[in-house]
Amino acid sequence: MKLPMQTALITGASSGIGVDLAFEFAKRGHHLVLLARREDRLLQVKSDILSQYPALQVHILVQDLIQDDALKQIQQFLTANNISIDYLVNNAGFGLRGQFHELDQQRQLDMITLNVTRLTELCRHFLPSMLAKNSGGILNVASVAGFQPGPKMSVYFASKAFVLFLSEGIYEEIKPSHVLISTLCPGPTASEFGKVSDMENTRLFDHGVMASAEVARIGVDGFFRNQAIVITGFKNKILAILNRFVPRFLVRKIAHFLQT
């Protein structure tokens, strides 16, 4: 029996990992709603996807997720276009590097709104209908940063730890159902993130930066295999595992060193 085509809402689909996540869902035959702030970039992604997958419906939704009424705007858009969401991909996010007490406070709070609050709100909004249908799922993009504290990026690391713990908690809660939830934990990845987050010249980004297409492929493969946590790349897996065995004071020091 051929299943009806399903729709994935992908946030942060205008650049980097989000673009490749959109291609991965398109490859598997899913219609798309691509969300970000930059309309020109979204239109380009839409046209690139449709040139490869002309049978798909690809909508673009220009929305700043930091705005208080973001969820309401998303709901209105979906209702107006008669779209129901089967897959939610919470990928939009950014980081800030610097001393906690010196970084711009409003930017830090905006980061928490985007990386934590909006992600939580979107999960809470879409999960009940997925559970009612007993299908679909949520792919949350955290980071290997979620496994430890991150001096010089303290708020960012804490925000990704939140995403990881939230998603793992929900994973256990909904396990009896067929609804999927995975946390994608990339390490350094080529995208606009390095520039936006002022990470480009750090030791962390010196070696082993992965391609966003590879990160997205591994992430979506793991998601459809119902993996709770998907860590991309051998080096990142080792780092995440080592965290459990290395004393905490050393973990903090290494993270500080890498962020410099």
Q: Is 216 among the residues that bind ligand NAP (CB under 6 A)?
A: no
The reply to whether 87 belongs to the active site is: no
Q: Per rule CB under 6 A, is residue 10 in the interface with ligand NAP?
A: no
From CA 33, how far away is CA 22, in angstroms rounded? 9
In the complex, the smallest distance separating the C-beta of residue 26 from ligand NAP, rounded to whole angstroms, is 16
Q: Which of 89, 103, 123, 141 binds ligand NAP (CB under 6 A)?
A: 141
Reported as type and span, the H/E element at residue 33 is: strand 31-36
Q: Is 150 in the site for ligand NAP (CB under 6 A)?
A: no
Site for ligand NAP in 71-110 (CB under 6 A): 91-95
Whether residue 72 lies in the annotated active site? no
Contact 186, 230 (CB under 8 A): no
| CB closer to ligand NAP out of 18 and 150 | 18
The torsion angle over the Cα atoms of residues 23, 21, 111 and 186, rounded to 10 degrees, is -140
Instruction: Decide: is 140 part of the binding site for ligand NAP (CB under 6 A).
Output: no
38 binds ligand NAP (CB under 6 A): yes
Q: Segment 164-203, which members bind ligand NAP (CB under 6 A)?
A: 186, 188-189, 191-193, 196
* Termini Cα distance of the chain: 54
Closest CA to 138 of 92, 181, 105: 181
Contact 85, 126 (CB under 8 A): yes
In the set 116, 136, 137, 143, which binds ligand NAP (CB under 6 A)? 143
Residue 149 CB, shortest distance to ligand NAP, in Å, is: 16
Alpha helices, DSSP H, located in 28-151: 39-52, 70-80, 105-112, 119-133
Work out how close the CB of 135 gets to ligand NAP at its nearest, in angstroms, rounded to a whole number.
25
- How many C-alpha atoms does 218 have within 13 Å on its Cβ side? 22
CA 121 to chain centre: 14
30 lines the binding site for ligand NAP (CB under 6 A): no
Instruction: Report in angstroms how near the CB of residue 87 gets to ligand NAP at its nearest.
Output: 16
Looking at beta carbons only, is 56 or 213 nearer to ligand NAP? 213
- Given a contact cutoff of 8 angstroms between Cβ atoms, the answer to whether 164 and 116 are in contact is no
